[in-house]
Amino acid sequence: MKLAYYPGCVARSTGKEYELSTRAVCSALGVELEELEDWNCCGATHCSNELLAVGLAARNLSQTDLPIMASCSICYSNLRIAAKRLEDHQVREKVNSALDKKYSQAEVKHVLEVLAGELMGEENQKKIVVPLKGLKVAPYYGCLLTRPKEGMDSPENPRMLEKLIAALQAEPVNYPYGMLCCGGPIFMAEEDAASESAFRILHSAKAAGADAVVAVCPLCHLMLDAKQRALENRFKEELDIPILYVTQLAGIALGLGPEDLGMEMNSVSPTRLVEEIYERLAAETEC
């Protein structure tokens, strides 16, 4: 399989380990990634002019004939919304008048969809060389992976992460805030509101007994991982729960090493978890 990869702006800075682990896991699975030609920012959640947002996304969508894979949920949602809006003849004509390469059609995927396709199901079980047995993982969907509706999974009751976690032989943890917004889009200007949401998610995942949270978006990851120490100080509660990108979690199961997956870049170190996975695996092999 060959895909056009849309990294998004964050991949080069606060989401570096997401990009690194995305490339490593896709390479291990034989999914060829070709970086989208001269890609631009999608506007994230900060473009109040919706037609302009469609235009920015359309420029990305018109750069390739390959299916486009995004790893950031915000980019992914924006590309999907744009592809939908561009079905409208009037919108397409207006947008195309501003583009060098005209938009005709596009297929948009999220890296989670690609991983699910490559790792779920009986036939893919042999790819899991390091089963994540005994690891309790809280699936964190956030908002835009499944929204707007008609995407890869139900926007109310998605199950794709649970299924992937189970396919990797880890245990999905049930907790109430797996789809609560992390507050990321407003954290710069409205820190109090954003912190409250992020803390609620972490607190509930921890209370449900999770060893780690799995994230599918770099902004969610930033809120839950890079800001975790600040949240601990603010809410006077120890959290200390590693937040793994879905590509890092899958990468461990594929036998990739911490450096392949950028794990030293996580704020809350997942090293202990990985060691425990290998210790359990070793103990089992000895038996």
Partner 1 sequence: MDAQFKEEVLKLAGDEVKNCIQCGTCSSSCSTAHLMDNSIRKLVRFVLEGMKEEALSSQSIWLCTSCLLCTVRCPRSIRPKSVVAALKHIKEQEGGKNKDQAFEEMFMRQIRDCGRVSEFLLSAGYPLANPMATVQIMTMGIELLPKGKIDFHRDCVRGQDEIKRIFEELKEG
What minimum distance in Å lies between the beta carbon of 209 and partner 1?
A: 24
Buried b (16+ CB within 10 A) or exposed e, 141-164: bbbbbbbeeebbbebeebebbbbb
What minimum distance in Å lies between the beta carbon of 73 and partner 1?
A: 10
Considering the complex, state which of residue 132 and residue 175 has its C-beta at the smaller distance from partner 1: 175
Q: Using alpha carbons only, what angle is made at residue 258 by residues 274 and 160, rounded to the nearest 5 degrees?
A: 70
Considering the complex, state which of residue 166 and residue 230 has its C-beta at the smaller distance from partner 1: 230
Helices (H), 29-88: 50-61, 73-85
What minimum distance in Å lies between the beta carbon of 125 and partner 1?
A: 34
Considering the complex, state which of residue 57 and residue 119 has its C-beta at the smaller distance from partner 1: 57
What minimum distance in Å lies between the beta carbon of 12 and partner 1?
A: 5
The tokens describing 151, both together, are 């995407």
Q: Please give the residue ranges that form the binding site for partner 1 (CB under 8 A).
A: 9-10, 12-14, 16, 38-41, 43-52, 54-56, 59, 77, 94-95, 97-100, 143-144, 147-149, 155-156, 179-181, 183-194, 197, 226-227, 229-230, 264-265, 267
Considering the complex, state which of residue 21 and residue 77 has its C-beta at the smaller distance from partner 1: 77
The tokens describing 59, both together, are 């420029």
Q: Are 226 and 14 in contact (CB under 8 A)?
A: yes
What minimum distance in Å lies between the beta carbon of 100 and partner 1?
A: 5
Helix 246-253 / helix 16-28 crossing angle, nearest 10 deg: 40
